[in-house]
Amino acid sequence: MTVSTLTPSGVQCPKCGAHSIVEYKPTVYHCLKCDFEKDLSMPPKPEDTGLAQAIMGLAGFGLGLLILL
């Protein structure tokens, strides 16, 4: 069994210029040399937050109905 640790991907760091960028998480890149970090994941959109709140509200409403019945 081979344990693969952080392997340099050859991506150049925009901060220090070293080719020591590793994929820290599927969306997060980290430089081993200068601790530069780049998160490629997009922040949640306001629409999504509103939708989630609407779903939570509906779930709460449904739960309330279940308790009443």
Q: List interacting residues with Zn ion (CB under 5 A).
A: 13, 15-16, 31, 33-34, 36
**Chain position carrying tokens 């980290």:** 30
Q: Tell me the closest approach of the beta carbon of residue 36 to Zn ion, in angstroms.
A: 4
CB of 34 to Zn ion, least distance (A): 3
Element (H, E) at 51: helix 46-68
**CA 39, CA 10: separation in Å to the nearest integer?**
17
Instruction: Please say whether the beta carbons of 29 and 43 come within 8 A.
Output: no
Please, which residue, 35 or 48, has the CB nearer to Zn ion? 35
Nearer to Zn ion (CB atom), residue 16 or residue 59: 16
